[in-house]
Amino acid sequence: MGAHQVHKVLTTPYGRKFLRLKARELLHWPEFRGEEFLDIQQELAVRILEQAHYFDPARGAVATFIGQVAYTAAALMCRERNCIKRGRRLRHQSLDAPLPSDDDPPISLRDLLTEDDGGRVAGIATAPPDRREALMDFYDVIASLSPEQRGVAALLMYGGCETSISTALKISRRRVRAAIAVIRERLKDADLDHF
């Protein structure tokens, strides 16, 4: 009985106007860029009708139920469009499938992938090769410092000042200044003073 009432209200001028306004609102959201107005309107109607059997007249009005379901449906639609793994517009393609080319033997997407591509897929930010080498040298210099100097270096990297480092490590500011001087000297010796 509840499903019938929801369907009845959706086919009234009020229901059609509500769906039009909600679909027009969603068209302005970046998740729906490039989609058709009628497709969004129809998807909203389908999602409302899928939930219609949950309507209970004793708990509220049909219009309120439709509004709440439409609000939730819109949020779920945005979430689905933002989720790359479930993205409906993404076309799956095998990495081993040969690419159209005149090469013999044919090349595949796997042949074209780099280490940076693997980092992007895994969600790991990768640096250019020269930057990677400099970072490795930088971490070697940091590893060669005393524990206290490493603590000072770590707090410096996170924007700490002389006073805050002194307080955090419970050492005097003079020892902090001395540690900073050693760190700068070691970085300069390794030609990493730009760090």
Instruction: Concatenate the DSSP letters of all residues of 112-172 into one string.
Output: H--HHHHHHHHT-----HHHHHHHHHHHHHHHTS-HHHHHHHHHHHTT--HHHHHHHHT--
User: Does some domain include residue 34?
Assistant: yes
Q: Is the pLDDT of residue 87 over 70?
A: no
Q: What is the pLDDT of residue 28?
A: 83
Considering its fold, how many domains does the chain have in total?
Answer: 2
Helix (H, G, I), strand (E, B) or coil at 98: strand
Backbone angles phi, psi at 98, to 5 degrees: -70, 140
| CATH number of the domain within which 184 lies | 1.10.10.10
User: Does some domain include residue 111?
Assistant: no
Record the pTM.
0.43
Percentage of the chain exceeding pLDDT 70: 80
Residues sharing a CB contact under 8 Å with residue 160, sequence separation 6 or more, in sequence order: 168
User: Does some domain include residue 108?
Assistant: no
Helix (H, G, I), strand (E, B) or coil at 108: strand
Domain that holds residue 176: 129-189
Mean pLDDT on 29-52: 87
Q: What is the pLDDT of residue 171?
A: 92
User: Does some domain include residue 114?
Assistant: no
Lowest model confidence (mean pLDDT) among 21-35, 75-89, 114-128, 179-193: 114-128
pLDDT, tens only, 96-145: 777 776 666 777 777 776 766 666 655 565 666 667 677 788 888 888 88
Backbone angles phi, psi at 96, to 5 degrees: -90, -5
